[in-house]
Structure formats: C-alpha cells, structure tokens
Structure 1
Amino acid sequence: MTRSGLCTLLGPQPGITVVGEAADGVEAVERARLLRPDVVLMDVRMPRLDGIEATRRLLAGPAEPTTPTGPAEPPKVVVITTFENDGYVTAALGAGASGFVLKRLPVPKIAEAVRVVAAGEAILFPAALRRMVTARPRDSAEALPRAALTGREEEVLRLMATGLSNPEIARSCGVRLETVKTHVGNVLTKLGAQNRTHAVVIAYETGLVVPGVVG
C-alpha cells in the first residue's frame, strides 16, 4: 500500500518520472538493473532480500544493459524508512546509499530528496544521523586517518556533517564551488568512503565530528 501510494503521489511531482516498482529486494535489484533509473527509493525491510543487501548488490557493479559508450552507471540509492533511529539505515549508508528519508515526510519533501540525490548531492538529516551513529559501538578516534586530511578538508567534512550542500559549503568557506568539489573528492578518497554520507558516518564513528557539537 505504501509503495503504490508513493508511486501515485511522486509521479506528478516536477522533474520526476516513476519508471518501475518492486515488491522485494531481489526484484528491486533486477528491475533497477533493467530499467536504469537515476534514483532508487529503497525500503530497509523487504521480503527475500533486505534493503541493505539489495543496495550493496545494486551498487557493487555496473547496471545492465550497457550503453553505447560502455557499462551504465548504477543508480543513486535513497533509503526510505519509518524510524529515524532505525539501526539498519546506517548500514545501508555504509553499503553505498546516498542518504535516507522518512516515510512520514510530505511527498514534496521526498520528491526534493530524489531530485537532490539525482543531482549528485547527498541527503543528510544530521540530528537523526547522529542518533543512529551514537547508538552503535564507536571505533577509536585513531581509526580515522586524520593526518591525511588537510585543515581545509577537515573543515569541509565537518560542514558536510551539518548537511550543507557543496554550494553552501563554498559560501561558508568563501571559496569557489570547484574547489569544494575537489576537497570533497579528496576526503572521500582518503577516508575510503563510497559517498559523502558514508564519509560523515565515518567522521561521527571515529570522533572527528562529535555528536551535539556539530549541527
């Protein structure tokens, strides 16, 4: 019922075309590889295959069929869940999801999340993310290769943790957007993060960003 409702309500939203839906995780991976959507709204709890493993499988390799220029890129994944403190969500982010939204949000907000992720940004709700991360065992702060990050890169990572987009970070730091994109790319590479959301999770878990201090 929720899935059908989302399809019906998201379809008329500006800039969005619903190309398919799936009843379980296995079907979600199969149809996403066939239909090649820009964004997949992935539920966490599904029959046959949960959203975490479905996300991992979907993002592990190129989509099919291939394009004339080579394998198609996998879609962006947005986890959609009922609870802000759903422990599974952080694992899904670690599997490569670009962010998460809550099912109780108004449809225009969910639609905006889809558009933002499609544009290459991430969806972060810092307060909810902090609660989820602090509910998990934390590694030692030394686990984060902080020495590898420059001062500016640490600053950019902290701003990412507040949910700021690249243009907002550029304005905050007084630098060009292209410079911010370079810093973000360096942060992801140095932390071994799959995307900016995963980088923020690493920052929280290893102590670079302290819950209650940022955001």
Structure 2
Amino acid sequence: GHIMLKALTMFKGARALNFNAVARCFTVPGAAEPNFVEQTNQYFDQAAEFLSKTQPGMVEKSLLDFIRPPKTVLKLNMPLRRDDGTIDVIPAYRAQHSFHRVPCKGGIRYAPDVDQQEVEALAALMTFKCACTDIPFGGAKGGVRIDPKKYSVRELERVTRRYALELSKKGFLGASIDVPAPDMNTSGREMSWIKDTYSYIYGQHDVNAAACVTGKPSEPGRN
C-alpha cells in the first residue's frame, strides 16, 4: 500500500509535465529511436524527477530502482502441431511488473510482432494505470507471437491451452496470482479456453479456479 501511494502521487503529479522523451532522443545526431521499454522508462524517470523537485525526500532512489523494472518475466517456446501434421514453434511471453498488490492484472495479445520488451512495457503501464486510478492490482501483460489469421480455430485452441498450461505450471496464472484478460486479437473465446484448462488442472483444489481470467463468456447462474 505504501509503494502504491507513492506511485500514485508520482504519476498524478507528473500529469502536469509535457513529456517529450521520444523527441529529445532525436536531438542527438544518429540516435536510434528508443524501444517501447526505453520510452516507458523515460516517462518513469521524468515523473520521478518531477516528484523529487516538488516533494523532496518523499521517495528514495533505491525504492524507485525497485519499482521501475518488472519483477518476473516468462519467455516460452511452445510447439504447435498444425492441422497438416507439421510443427511450428511459437514464442510467448508473460511479464509481471509488480506484486505490491495481488493479483497482477493484464491482457494477453496475439500478434506476429509481439516481443518481450513490448509486454514488459505494457505490464509497467498497467501498474501505473492501476495506481493512478486506485485499483488494487499489480500490472502484468502477456503475448503470443502468432498471426491468428493464418491459423485455424483448432490450432488457436491448441496454442492457447498450451500457453495456459505453461503459465499455470510456472505460477503465472490464478485468481490470487495473475489474472489475464482479452487484448489485441484475443476475446472471450481464448479466455474460456484458458479458464477451462486451468480449472481442469486445479479446479478440485482451487474454488476460485474460474476467476483465473476476466472477459470470458457469461454462463447461466454465474456472475
């Protein structure tokens, strides 16, 4: 709660700033455009600088260094047997940025160009959005590097269930741990597959197994 309050103060105060992190990079001749993580970190550093000037001593640098990076990042290479019998290797990721409040919360996106730095940046932004709106969750984000238009429904179900299985085995899924939601190119269909897979494995021990995801289709008699 203490960390969340400090993050809330820092980012609400930083709204008054005109962030020009990306533009400033181009003032250096030959400088490359920063990637998503670097841009997010630049915004964080500017907000921290604003806080240090307006409320000196409120947050120690060591605490900021702790808040800034993701706490855990999972990288997977998942085999997918296609309908024609061939096997594709599908990269996938899940980043958990903060555990100051649990569960972590963040969507899962399917895209052909999603990578680790993208999910790390989006997980950090989820933490900050939750802090600014006083929602008691940490931030997380997941991604599967796949173009869903090039795969059949059965193939998408296989890769989704495999992803859910890997997240479950490695402690990246559960109502009290990390709760995904739909995002780019995912919907209630994928959330239903994830819930079904998790419930099959842990349902007899976890009464809240069905709450492992949000955004799933509604069922009669359930909220």
Larger Rg: 2
Higher strand share: 2
Give me the TM-score of the superposition, normalised by structure 2.
0.26
Give me the TM-score of the superposition, normalised by structure 1.
0.26
